[in-house]
Amino acid sequence: MKLLVKNIRSLVGVEYMSKLRLQGRQMAELNTIDNAWLLVEDGRFAQFGSVEDGMPLLEGIDEIVDAEGGMVFPSWCDSHTHIVFAGSREREFVDKINGLSYEEIARRGGGILNSADLLHQTSEEELYSQAMRRLDEVIHKGTGCIEIKSGYGLNLEDELKMLRVIKRMKETSRAKIVSTFLGAHAVARGMSQDEYVSLVVDEMIPEVGRQQLADFVDVFCDRGFFTSKDTTRILEAAAKWGMRPKIHADELASSGGVEVGAKHGALSVDHLESMTEEEIEILRGTDTMPTVLPGTSFFLNMPYGKARKMIDAGLGVAVASDYNPGSTPSGDMKFVVSLACIKLRLQPNEAINAATLNGAYAMGVSAEYGSIAKGKVANFFITHPVPSVDFIPYAYTTPIVKKVVLAGEME
Ligand code: NIG
Ligand code: FE
């Protein structure tokens, strides 16, 4: 199957020598080809070039798509979401407007525990259909690669239920999905912290491991949730089953999560709203991708992560949506890219790399996704006509996605 996309004003995010991630100054490098064409073969990028240098032979091409002067971007790679959840939590949204903080709501037994109660009463089928609706929504906003966490089950049965839903989504969607076991998202009702951590370590992890339901493990390592000591126990147990960490760190306070994560070879440490300068130093020279979630800062009115400082210090940074019912009820990656520019002070090129190639790295899939490079999976979107790349984050509420192609097929 050969598909040709013609009339592309700019082909953005092109790589000739694929890199697994971009760090420091490299993050500003975003190759583009103007007046371009793109050839996809059997679901992968096969060739591309500018019209001036000659079009490919039309012989053997099965389908031609006219980009009509729009741009082509690699799909967004959203490396941190919680899109499998039941219902919504707009009551807490109003509580927050009335002055309660995210932490106060959690302390009063709301927050994650509310979502867990609701998920408990929701059938696996219904959970799947709600999550697929969210996935469909973000796919049409340009996301082609997404990480999804468990963490609203908080008991063995319901955590497995969530992970089975993610597994079914992997099997039915053309989007690339990776799954993360986040049993340690909150302490379940009626249990002590130690009892719950033991349940995660002794029962949940071995069962998730045996059934091979998770690619990664996560812990909400933060003030009022899990300590670095709890986190260490959980990461050590998960390592025995080959689950690499991607952890929640420093959202509410500098929590030691960055250090524990780096020590255990985390693929990413995420949130980082309260990160310190010392923690930036800890990440230097590691394989860990710091991942900032500006939508969470926006929605909770909290400080923004120090992405600018990290890039200036030579680190790579990813941005992700954190789509979840409590702290970020949105998976709009274009808005995340705008926030990365407006609030994190990233240049548009840096923000786009943070939301594509570096996001793919933070899911362990950047050899196959995250840029337009020969041999990579053909996940991309075609925009409506836009005047420049910088227009995308600048026009922060203008919809830009016109057509979406995943694994070489039109969505
Ligand atoms: O990433 N911080 C922990 N977990 C989510 C929020 C989950 C919720 O409130 O439902 C987050 O912000
Ligand atoms: Fe999260």
pLDDT band at 298 (very low <50, low <70, confident <90, very high): very high
**What's the confidence (pLDDT) of residue 57?**
85
Count other Cβ atoms within 10 Å, centred on residue 117.
Answer: 15
Q: Identify the structural domains of the chain with CATH numbers, from first to last.
A: 2-73+370-410 (2.30.40.10), 76-361 (3.20.20.140)
Nearest protein CA to atom 3 of ligand 1, as residue: 220
Residue 271 confidence (pLDDT): 97
18 has a pLDDT exceeding 90: no
8 Cβ partners below 8 Å, 6+ apart? 35, 36, 37, 38, 67, 70, 71, 72, 382
State if pTM tops 0.85. yes
Predicted pLDDT at 394: 98
**Average pLDDT over every residue of 22-26:** 98
pLDDT value at position 237? Answer: 98
Residues 277-301, mean pLDDT to the nearest whole number: 97
Q: What residues are paired with 381 via a beta bridge?
A: 73, 404
- pLDDT score at 313: 97
Specify the pLDDT at position 194. 97
pLDDT at 386 over 90: yes
Lowest-confidence region among 26-30, 89-93, 197-201, 261-265: 89-93
CB-based pocket (< 6 A), ligand 1: 82, 111-112, 115, 220, 248, 251, 296, 322, 324-327
Answer whether residue 340 shows pLDDT above 90: yes
Ligand 2 centroid to residue 374 C-alpha, Å: 33
* Nearest ligand atom owner, CA of 246: 2
Quickly tell me which residue has 């000739």 as its tokens: 16
Average pLDDT over residues 158-168: 98
Q: What is the distance between the alpha carbons of residues 162 and 115, in angstroms, rounded to a whole number?
A: 12
Q: Which ligand is nearest to the CA of 295?
A: 1
Measured in Å, residue 330 CA sits from the centre of ligand 2 at 12
Q: Which atom of ligand 1 is nearest to the CA of 111?
A: 9
Does residue 267 register a pLDDT over 90?
yes
Closest ligand, as measured to the CA of 249: 1
Query: What number does the ligand 1 atom closest to the CA of 115 have?
Result: 10
Contact 205, 190 (CB under 8 A): no
Residue nearest to atom 8 of ligand 1 (CA): 326
Atom of ligand 1 nearest to the CA of 251: 2
What is the reported pLDDT for 72? 98
